[in-house]
Amino acid sequence: MRMIVLGLCAALLAPSAMAQEWVVPSIWGNGILGQQALRNAADNVDAYGDTADAKKRARERLTAPTLPYSRSGRLTGEVEAAVAAKLPQIVSLRMQIKDPSYFVTGGESRTHYKRELDTRDFPRDSFAGATAVFLAVGWEQANGAKLSAAQNAAILRQTIEMMKSTPQAKQGDAQRQEQAEMRLLVTGIWAREAKLRADAPGQLRALSDSVWRDMKTITNNDMRSYVVTAQGFSER
């Protein structure tokens, strides 16, 4: 059970036996942007936080249990452009969204993933919130089921607890934002695809199978082998 969160946060670099060859797990561990882009984003944040109070707030933020980050609009644009350019490597689904790249770069995926975060009462601008919503939506789509408010809360609690031993617990704003927004953008795609396919059971099944495969590749976990209890994800 512990592996389901750690497998995602640490981002396994080797595909599972069931993996689709066009999904590249290493993107999730190494990030999609170069180190220079992350350094530039970090410098931009630091430029506005030179006072003692600002530095104190930054320390408090970076040590908070939900792993929040100060979002950079510029970095968001860079992550969206990079994800859009590599969508076939990130998502195996044959999408019904008319222009998937623009869906990502034009901010539509952002609209959908923010709605998912808010509906589940998960924190925005937080690596824990991004990971929890990615896992929750992934589980729902893979299983063709909806989570209750209590189940969503359990997933968030479990995710926050597991975050303590992940690399992101020691990372700065830019690294957390990059990894969080990759998960969020895919979450937004899945949420939109589910709406587009709502009246077509066969197409919903195709979405379910694709999400199940991709989640197994990315996290090395079979989402159909888990139930969600008061403790979060538990094996059936």
pLDDT in tens, 155-185: 999 999 888 877 888 888 888 999 999 999 9
Q: What is the pLDDT of residue 10?
A: 39
Higher pLDDT among residues 216 and 29, named by residue: 216
Place of tokens 């908070």: 64
Whether residue 144 has pLDDT greater than 80: yes
Phi-psi sector, 144: left (phi>0), alpha (psi -120 to 50), beta = left
Residue in 110, 111, 104, 39 with CA at minimum distance from that of residue 75: 39
As beta bridge partners, residue 232 has 229
The 10s digit of each residue's pLDDT in 65-108 is: 889 999 999 999 999 999 999 998 889 999 999 999 999 999 99
Higher pLDDT among residues 66 and 33, named by residue: 66
Question: What pTM did the predictor assign?
Answer: 0.82
* Confidence at 148, pLDDT banded by 50, 70, 90: very high
82/99 Cα distance (integer angstroms): 15
63/17 Cα distance (integer angstroms): 37
Higher pLDDT among residues 19 and 33, named by residue: 33
Q: What is the pLDDT of residue 25?
A: 40
